[in-house]
């Protein structure tokens, strides 16, 4: 067993993990000091997830050593990691909606930890006040916003006296104000000696809060840097090369004629924890991108479902394309008149996991591929191959199953498939969710090219920076209400962030939005 006097909280020494056909981690060495906020960066598939799962005991390395406070340790399970003082907040939260905050936190504590805490709700309230987290132990999780749920996940770690906190894309679903609050908590933890491993695709956050960054590519460490001495552009260049320099300064456009309209759209949610849409009004114009910001759970899913036709309920007069009422049409009929749709969920809704890319290309795009009732498979195969080449989709060819692709590569294929239909209207949800810098750049450029060809694009995203980059006009949704629409150059992140938090509701702004 290795042991030596060390100033490091965590040391990884030549960590290697291989899966069939994939060397996920290739002799990775990394170290964290007490109180250090350390960014772990890289494109999708670079090895970040495997590495943090190794630290947290979800994955066992094939080779290499982990040293904790100078002593070699074997972390064979998350419970062992938690006992050491390692906590992790995953990108997708693992909370039970029908339990209270206190009950959810209790579930992850060992008997020893529980016996050391005499009164758990009191301890949660105490830590909440100490760190400014505003976590109520008696609240039921289903009543919490996404930002509040994340604070519960962080509270889980604080209750366990965490010494290393791993955060996977922690700001991807937060308003700017919530991000500022999270960073205050992280800085406080850092000052108290807690080490933080921070995974993010938002590079301006890395330069803002991190002391050091390790960049992975193809499972290897290719660079380390001091983020405060870099810019987001220079870090992106380390990650993906010169390609990163292209994603800047896109020009804004003004739309022409209205091609889609929602008028007085109100709809009760089908789901018990869903959000009812309340008198939604907006127009989509040819040659523009309309961006709608909002924290998850505020009506975006319901809005996308009713516009795309997935919901299935008849809202005939509330939705029009051109002069045609479409609120009663099923999704296939809407596609035939020029609507395309990129859903948030790639596998299952955007693509069928077990089907090949060729078969998935046909699912939403049959025009020209059917002759006398028969599928022209050679034409479909050629089309799928064109998409793979045009959008640089990394796969083993057009016969690869959708589920074999990384999230970013599958998203590029789905975007290409929908754009390839030359739609009049494209409805697009979270186009670069969990996607790396290179894939995000390709998707951004494809959307702008489609806009410049005269399409009207509705872009719903929780990434406010992406919306400011791409959208020509913007609005925000909160609690089923839609804010006023405003030109992107006439607003700022602070105003949109406040609208995301609902400051426009029950004010003159709502009356203006309804007018």
DSSP of 217-282: ETTEEEEEE-GGGS-HHHHHHHHHGGGGGGSS-PPP----SEEEEEEEEEE--SSTT---EEEEEE
* pLDDT value at 74 more than 60: yes
Task: Kindly report which listed range (96-105, 233-242, 405-414) carries the lowest average pLDDT score.
Answer: 233-242
Strand partners, 22: 19
* pLDDT value at 415 more than 60: yes
Angle between the 146-159 and 120-131 helix axes, to the nearest 10 degrees?
A: 110
Sign of the torsion formed by the C-alpha atoms of 70, 71, 73 and 78: negative
- The number of helices, as runs of H, and strands, as runs of E, in the chain is 18, 23
Nearest in space to 361 (alpha carbons), one of 395, 327, 334: 395
Q: Could you give the strand order of the β-sheet that contains 195-199, starting from the edge strand earlier in sequence?
A: 86-89, 164-168, 195-199, 37-41, 212-217, 220-225
Q: Which pLDDT score is estimated for 453? A: 94
Q: Provide the residue ranges of all domains of the chain, joining segments of one domain with +.
A: 10-246, 258-349+424-514
Query: Structure pTM?
Result: 0.68
Instruction: Report residue 214 as tokens.
Output: 């390790």
* pLDDT value at 1 more than 70: no
Nearest in space to 83 (alpha carbons), one of 157, 15, 32, 12: 157
DSSP designation for 485: P
Give per-residue pLDDT as tens, 436-460: 677 778 888 889 999 999 999 999 9
* pLDDT value at 336 more than 70: yes
Hey, is 284 helix, strand or coil?
Answer: strand
Q: Which pLDDT score is estimated for 117? A: 85
The answer to whether 495 and 475 have CB atoms below 8 angstroms apart is no
Q: Which pLDDT score is estimated for 507? A: 52
Q: How many degrees, rounded to 5, is the angle at CA 373 between CA 369 and CA 376? A: 30
Q: Which pLDDT score is estimated for 214? A: 95
Average pLDDT over all residues of the chain = 87
Question: Which CATH architecture group holds 10-246?
Answer: 3-Layer(aba) Sandwich (3.40)
Q: How many degrees, rounded to 5, is the angle at CA 45 between CA 44 and CA 49? A: 90
With a CB cutoff of 8 Å and minimum separation 6, the contacts of 246 are 441, 445
How many CB atoms sit inside 10 A of residue 379's CB?
14
Instruction: Report residue 169 as tokens.
Output: 């894309």
* pLDDT value at 420 more than 90: no
How long, in residues, is the chain? 515
DSSP designation for 514: H
| High-pLDDT (> 70) share of the chain, % | 93
Nearest in space to 312 (alpha carbons), one of 332, 336, 340: 332
Question: Which CATH architecture group holds 258-349+424-514?
Answer: 3-Layer(aba) Sandwich (3.40)
Quickly state the pLDDT bin for 509 (edges 50, 70, 90): very low
The answer to whether 37 and 189 have CB atoms below 8 angstroms apart is no
Q: Which pLDDT score is estimated for 344? A: 82
Strand partners, 258: 285
Task: Kindly report which listed range (72-76, 198-202, 243-247) carries the lowest average pLDDT score.
Answer: 243-247
Q: How far apart are the C-alpha atoms of 150 and 460, rounded to whole Å?
A: 21
Judge whether 10-246 and 258-349+424-514 match in fold: yes
């Amino acid at each position: 067993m290795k042991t030596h006097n060390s100033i490091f909280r965590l040391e990884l020494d030549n960590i290697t993990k291989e899966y069939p056909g994939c060397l996920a981690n290739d002799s990775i060495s990394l170290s964290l000091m007490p109180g250090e906020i350390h960014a772990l960066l890289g494109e999708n598939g670079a090895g970040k997830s495997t590495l943090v799962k190794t630290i947290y005991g979800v994955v066992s390395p094939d080779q290499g050593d982990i040293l904790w406070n100078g002593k070699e340790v074997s972390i064979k399970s998350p419970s062992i990691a938690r006992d050491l003082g390692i906590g992790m907040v995953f990108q997708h939260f693992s909370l039970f909606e029908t339990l209270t905050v206190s009950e959810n936190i209790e579930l992850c504590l060992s008997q020893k930890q529980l016996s050391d805490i005499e009164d758990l709700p009191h301890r949660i309230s105490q830590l909440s006040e100490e760190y400014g987290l505003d976590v109520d132990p008696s609240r039921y999780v289903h009543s919490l916003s996404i930002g509040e749920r994340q604070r519960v996940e962080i509270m889980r770690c604080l209750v366990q006296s965490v010494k290393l906190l791993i955060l996977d894309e922690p700001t991807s679903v937060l308003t700017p104000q919530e991000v500022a609050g999270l960073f205050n908590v992280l800085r406080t933890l850092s000052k108290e000696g807690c080490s933080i491993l921070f995974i993010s695709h938002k590079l301006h956050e890395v330069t803002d809060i991190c002391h050091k960054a390790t960049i992975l590519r193809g499972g290897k460490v290719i660079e380390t840097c001091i983020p405060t001495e870099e810019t987001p552009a220079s870090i992106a260049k380390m990650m993906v090369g010169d390609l990163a320099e292209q994603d800047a300064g896109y020009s804004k456009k003004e739309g022409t004629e209205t091609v889609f309209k929602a008028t007085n759209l109100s709809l009760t949610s089908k789901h018990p924890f869903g959000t009812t849409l309340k008198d939604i009004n907006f127009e989509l114009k040819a040659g523009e991108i309309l961006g709608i910001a909002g924290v998850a759970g505020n009506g975006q899913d319901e809005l996308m479902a009713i516009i795309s036709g997935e919901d299935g309920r008849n809202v005939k007069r509330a939705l029009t394309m051109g002069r045609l009422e479409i609120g009663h049409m099923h999704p296939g009929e809407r596609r035939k008149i020029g609507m395309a749709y990129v859903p948030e969920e790639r596998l299952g809704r955007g693509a069928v996991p077990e089907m090949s890319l060729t078969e998935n290309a046909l699912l939403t795009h049959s025009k020209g591929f059917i002759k006398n009732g028969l599928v022209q498979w050679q034409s479909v195969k050629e089309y799928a191959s064109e998409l793979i080449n045009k959008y640089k989709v990394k796969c083993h060819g057009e016969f690869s199953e959708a589920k074999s692709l990384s999230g970013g590569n599958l998203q590029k294929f789905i975007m290409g498939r929908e754009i390839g239909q030359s739609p009049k209207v494209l409805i697009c949800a979270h186009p670069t969710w969990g996607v790396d810098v290179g894939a995000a750049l390709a998707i951004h450029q494809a959307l702008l090219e489609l806009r410049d060809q005269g399409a009207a694009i509705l872009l719903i995203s929780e990434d406010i920076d992406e919306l400011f980059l791409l959208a020509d006009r913007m609005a925000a949704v909160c609690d089923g209400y839609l804010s006023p629409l405003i030109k992107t150059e006439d607003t700022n992140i602070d105003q949109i962030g406040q609208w995301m938090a609902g400051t426009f509701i029950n004010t003159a702004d709502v009356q203006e939005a309804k007018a």
